[in-house]
Amino acid sequence: MKNTSIHLFIGSLLNLLLINSTEAQLDHQPNLNNQVMKNSSVHYRTIKVNGLNLFYREAGAANAPAILLLHGYPTSSHMFRNLIPILSKKYHVIAPDLPGFGYSDAPDHDKFKYTFDNLANTMQSFIDKLGMKRFAVYIFDYGAPVGLRLAMANPEKITGIITQNGNAYEEGLSKEWNPIQKYWKDPSQANRDSLRDFVSKKATWFQYHEGVSDPSLIAPESYTLDQYFLDRPGNIEIQLDLVKDYRTNVVLYPKFHEYFRSYQPRLLAVWGNKDPFFLPAGAEAYKKDIPDAIVKFYNTGHFALETNVTEIGADILDFMATLPK
């Protein structure tokens, strides 16, 4: 009887210790989860810049090295939805929607000058208002001429450049640009009207799917959301104004090259090698002016993040780790 009482007492004591230990672990677990959420959560913000409401995504610790993600046509910061969680574990990520795109204001083209100079001026005010002193910049499509204008104007701020199908060389322009170049040479109403299908559902679908070996990797909400914004009243004129003004980017190419040669920024090119608009030669061309540029190709099309975000994210992390703070 005495032994039985001792065994019961010891058993009760062990159960009590086990319960207390389990409760302590449970009490501690939410703190760990909260820490993970704190580091990986994406915030969706709006800021007033030059009279415009600019939408942007923000993630990562505010005191971590910063990276500015600049989207292209016809998309928005939504294109970075899968990349941001990868980068924000170590970096402070900022991804705005350019004026006329996504959730940022899209004033009528008669009230806002849709040129790449003006987009860059707006982004300059954006980074100034956010107090971005040093950052790497990710440039894609339209984001390339915007980001490179920023880099030329703020060489002291740029820690590195990641160009994902962001062209800066004439040899990177494919034959898909021929009808647009015709409009550049003769900006008649007839030539402008001939490009109206540029913003069609068929054209948007083509941009996402051309060159992609496995179409099931393309999330339908990507091109569906883009088309929703493209179909807003008046947006076609916004996009045709930008198509017309893209010629100014080609004119600026020699200035971009001069910047590359003078400052030798650290540069990583991550390029879909089956992009119907920007050819692999455009990626390789960066090495002419930045011999130490790193160029990587992926077997995909224009929107490489839709199919290869894991590999591209890993390559960017490796690259970012080599940059000055």
Which token pair is 312? 């591209």
For residue 251, the 8-state DSSP code is H
The CA–CA distances, whole Å, from 238 to 63, 146, 182 equal: 37, 16, 19
Distance CA 183, CA 243 (A): 9
Distance CA 235, CA 272 (A): 28
DSSP track, 264-300: ---EEEEEETT-SSB-HHHHHTHHHH-TT-EEEEESS
166: closest CA among 147, 141, 190? Answer: 141
Which token pair is 193? 């009207």
Active site residue 302: yes
Continuous segment of H or E residues that includes residue 162 = strand 158-163
Distance CA 179, CA 166 (A): 20
98: closest CA among 84, 112, 82, 83? Answer: 112
Which token pair is 62? 């505010």
| Contact of 132 with 66, CB cutoff 8 Å | yes
Of 71, 78, 109, 302, which one is the catalytic site residue?
302
Q: Known catalytic residues?
A: 302
